[in-house]
Chain A
Amino acid sequence: MKPLYRFLSFFLLIIFLILLPQLITKDYYIHMLVMAGIYSMLAQSLGLIIGFTGQVSLCHAAFYGIGAYISALLALNFGLPFWITFWFGGIGAGVVAYLFGCLVLKLKGHFLAITTALFGIMVTLILDNWTELTKGPMGLPGIPNPSPIQLPGVKLQFASRTEYYYLILVFVLLMAFVIYRIIHSQIGEAMIAIRENEEVAQSIGINTMRFKLAAFSIGSGFAGVAGSFYAHYILFISPISFTLPESINILVMMIFGGMQTFVGPIVGAITLTFLPEFLRMTGALRLTLYGLALMLLIIFLPSGIVGAIKEKWFSQYEKS
C-alpha cells in the first residue's frame, strides 16, 4: 500500500509541475520558477557535500561560476550549443573540485570552511582579472539560447520562459534522481558515516578521502551544470553573480530547508527564491524582515523545515 501511495503522490506532483506554467499569468513569476529550479540544483548538490558528507564548502557559487564561464566561452568562441557545453561546464567544475579537493579535504571544520571561502574569492578574482579571456567585470554578453530541439509532438525553441521552465524541471528531476540513488546507496552510507564520525569510518575500512572527494566533485559538478543553464538562460554572465555572498545564499537555502534531508534543500531553494518577492509589499523593510525571518528560523528550527517535520513525525512514531 505504501509504495503505491508514494508513487501516486509523486505522479500528482509531476502533473502539477507540468501544468504549473498554465496557472501562472505573469511572465515574471515563470522567471522566478526557473530561478527556483537553478537554486534547487545548487542547494541540493551542496546538500550532498555538507548535509550528507559533513564537509563544509563555502565556494559552491565558484563552481556554479566555473560551469557558467566554461559554457559561455565554449559557446561564444567555438559556437558549441548548450547541449554540448553543459557537459563541459559540469565535468569541468567537477574536475576543478576534484583537484582542489585533493588539496583541502584533509582539513576539517573551520579550516575547511575558511579555505573553501578563500578559494571562492580567488575564483572571483581570476574571473575579474583575466580580462583577455573573461572580459573581467564587464562580463560576457551575447551567449546563445539553447538550439531548438524537436521532441515527438513539440518543438522547443527556447524563445519563451515556459520552455526554459520545462528544461530546468527535467534537469532538477534528473539530478534529484541521481542524488537520491547516491544517498540511498553504500556510497551514501559511507558519506553519512564520514559526517557522523570520520575516525570510526576509517576504522571499519572506509576510504574517507575517496568518498569526500566523490561528494565534493559530484556536488560541485552539478553546480557547474546549473551554471551552464544560467549562462544560456540569462544570456549574460559576469563575476558578480558567483561571489561569496552567493555561496552563502545557497548555504542558507540548504540549511533553511533541511540539509540532512533529501528534499529539504529544494524546499529551501523554492521558498527563499519566492519569499523576498512576497515580502515586497512591506517596502523598505523587506530585506531586514527577510534577514530576521532567516535568523529566527535557523535558531528555532536548526534542522530546517523538512528536518523539523521529519523529527516530529519520527518522535510520534517512536511513542506509539
Chain B
Amino acid sequence: MALLEIREVTKRFGGLIALSGFKLEVQQGEILGLIGPNGSGKTTTFNVITGFLKPDGGKVIFEGEDITGLQPYAIAKKGVIRTFQLANLFFDLTVLDNVLIGFHNLSKITMLDELLNTRSRRKEKKELLGRAMEILQLTELDSHKEKLAKNLSAGWRKTLAIAVALAANPKLLLLDEPVCTLSPARVASIINLIMKVRDSGVTVMLIEHNMRAIMDYCDRIAVLNFGKKIADGSPERVKRNREVIDAYLGM
C-alpha cells in the first residue's frame, strides 16, 4: 500500500483549472520530486494534500485513510507536515522558540500539569529542549539559535522552516522549493539533510521548478504541466521524456 495516494484530484480557481485529474502515489521511504514550470499546480497539490485547500474533485488517502477535506491541523497531526514556498515562520520569535513550538503535538503533559508546573512538566520541557538542540545541530542552525527568525537570511529561513517541520514529527514531509534561491554550498547541505531525514524513516516529497537541481537525489520524479501529470518515473526516464522536454523548452 502506498503511504499517500492522490486520486484524480481536480482543483479550480474560478475559470482556471489548477489541477485536473491528478493521480499520484507516494511510496513509503522514497524521495519523490514534484516538478513543473511556474503555475503548473505544484503548490496547489501541497495545499490540497495538507487541507489548506479543498479539492473540487478526487480524494487524498494517507495510510489507507481518506483525509480529504480534513482541517490542516488534523492532517498535520496524522504526520503529514509541509513547509511553505516563501519560508513562512514565526518571524518575531527566536530560532529556538520556532523549533520548540514545532513540538506542540508531541507533548504528553496535561493542562493540570501545566497549571501546577509539576515535575513531569519540567522534565518534559528539558527533554524537548534537548531534542530541539539536536534538530538545530542537524540543520546547522545551532549558532543562530538566539536570533529572531526575521533576522535570518533567506537561505537560513528555508532551513529553519525545515527544522520546524522536523520538530513536528513527520511521517511524510512535504517541502515546497527547499533549495530555490540558496547558495550552492547551502544547496548541498540541505540535500544532505534531506537524505539524512529520509534515512531516518521519513518519506519526503519535494517541489522544485529547476529540474536539474534535484534530479540526482530523487528516487522518482513526477512532472506537472498546466495541472496535468505528464510524466512519472525514474529521473533518467523523465529526463528523456519528449513531453517533459517540450514543457521545459516552452517555458
**A: which residues have CB within 8 A of B?**
178, 181-182, 185-187, 189-190, 192-193, 196-197, 199-208, 318
A-B contact list, 24 entries, CB within 8 Å: A181-B114, A185-B111, A186-B104, A187-B114, A190-B101, A190-B104, A192-B93, A193-B90, A193-B104, A196-B90, A196-B92, A196-B93, A197-B88, A202-B73, A203-B50, A203-B52, A203-B83, A203-B88, A204-B76, A204-B105, A204-B168, A205-B77, A207-B73, A207-B74
Supply 16 further A-B pairs (C-beta < 8 A) apart from A181-B114, A190-B101: A186-B114, A189-B100, A196-B93, A197-B90, A200-B90, A202-B72, A203-B72, A203-B82, A203-B83, A204-B167, A205-B73, A205-B76, A205-B81, A205-B168, A206-B104, A208-B73
In the bound complex, how far is the Cα of B165 from the Cα of A204, in angstroms?
7
In the bound complex, how far is the Cα of B120 from the Cα of A186, in angstroms?
14
In the assembled complex, which residues on chain A have CB atoms less than 8 Å from the CB atom of B71? 202, 207
In the assembled complex, which residues on chain B have CB atoms less than 8 Å from the CB atom of A206? 73, 104-105
Contact B89 A204 (CB under 8 A): no
In the assembled complex, which residues on chain B have CB atoms less than 8 Å from the CB atom of A182? 114-115
- Interface assignment of B91: CB less than 8 Å from any CB of chain A: yes
Contact with A178, one of B74, B115, B168 (Cβ below 8 angstroms): B115
Closest residue on chain A to residue B51 by CB atoms:
A202
- Knowing A203-B50, A208-B73 touch, does A197 contact B81 (C-beta < 8 A)? no
In the bound complex, how far is the Cα of B147 from the Cα of A318, in angstroms?
10
Chain B 69-110 interface residues, beta-carbon cutoff 8 Å to A: 71-74, 76-77, 81-84, 88-93, 100-102, 104-105, 107, 109
In the assembled complex, which residues on chain A have CB atoms less than 8 Å from the CB atom of B115? 178, 181-182, 185
In the assembled complex, which residues on chain A have CB atoms less than 8 Å from the CB atom of B88? 197, 199-200, 203
| B89, B101, B117, B165 interface centre (most CB from chain A within 10 Å) | B101
- Knowing A181-B114, A186-B114, A193-B104 touch, does A200 contact B89 (C-beta < 8 A)? yes
In the bound complex, how far is the Cα of B115 from the Cα of A185, in angstroms?
8
CB distance from B43 to the nearest CB of A (A): 13
Interface size on B, residues (CB 8 A): 34
In the assembled complex, which residues on chain B have CB atoms less than 8 Å from the CB atom of A185? 111, 114-115
CB distance from A186 to the nearest CB of B (A): 5
Chain B 118-170 interface residues, beta-carbon cutoff 8 Å to A: 146, 164-165, 167-168
CB distance from B109 to the nearest CB of A (A): 7
CB distance from A203 to the nearest CB of B (A): 6
In the assembled complex, which residues on chain B have CB atoms less than 8 Å from the CB atom of A318? 146
In the assembled complex, which residues on chain B have CB atoms less than 8 Å from the CB atom of A204? 76, 81, 101-102, 104-105, 164-165, 167-168
In the assembled complex, which residues on chain B have CB atoms less than 8 Å from the CB atom of A202? 52, 71-73, 76
In the assembled complex, which residues on chain A have CB atoms less than 8 Å from the CB atom of B104? 186, 189-190, 193, 204-206
**B: which residues have CB within 8 A of A?**
50, 52, 71-74, 76-77, 81-84, 88-93, 100-102, 104-105, 107, 109, 111, 114-115, 117, 146, 164-165, 167-168
In the bound complex, how far is the Cα of B91 from the Cα of A182, in angstroms?
22
CB distance from A197 to the nearest CB of B (A): 5
Contact A193 B101 (CB under 8 A): yes
Contact A189 B84 (CB under 8 A): no
In the bound complex, how far is the Cα of B36 from the Cα of A106, in angstroms?
34
In the bound complex, how far is the Cα of B167 from the Cα of A207, in angstroms?
17
CB distance from A225 to the nearest CB of B (A): 17
CB distance from A230 to the nearest CB of B (A): 27
In the assembled complex, which residues on chain B have CB atoms less than 8 Å from the CB atom of A199? 52, 84, 88
In the assembled complex, which residues on chain A have CB atoms less than 8 Å from the CB atom of B76? 202-205
In the assembled complex, which residues on chain A have CB atoms less than 8 Å from the CB atom of B81? 203-205
In the bound complex, how far is the Cα of B126 from the Cα of A117, in angstroms?
43
In the assembled complex, which residues on chain A have CB atoms less than 8 Å from the CB atom of B117? 181
Give the 8 A-B residue pairs with the shortest CB-CB distance, closest first: A205-B76, A185-B114, A196-B90, A202-B72, A204-B168, A205-B105, A205-B77, A207-B73
In the bound complex, how far is the Cα of B164 from the Cα of A204, in angstroms?
8
In the bound complex, how far is the Cα of B168 from the Cα of A197, in angstroms?
16
In the bound complex, how far is the Cα of B148 from the Cα of A196, in angstroms?
12
Contact B77 A186 (CB under 8 A): no
In the bound complex, how far is the Cα of B114 from the Cα of A203, in angstroms?
24
In the assembled complex, which residues on chain B have CB atoms less than 8 Å from the CB atom of A186? 104, 107, 109, 114
In the bound complex, how far is the Cα of B52 from the Cα of A120, in angstroms?
32
In the assembled complex, which residues on chain B have CB atoms less than 8 Å from the CB atom of A201? 73, 101
| A200, A205, A318 interface centre (most CB from chain B within 10 Å) | A205
In the assembled complex, which residues on chain A have CB atoms less than 8 Å from the CB atom of B50? 203
In the assembled complex, which residues on chain B have CB atoms less than 8 Å from the CB atom of A208? 73
In the assembled complex, which residues on chain B have CB atoms less than 8 Å from the CB atom of A207? 71, 73-74
Contact B84 A200 (CB under 8 A): yes
CB distance from B57 to the nearest CB of A (A): 24
Closest residue on chain B to residue A208 by CB atoms:
B73
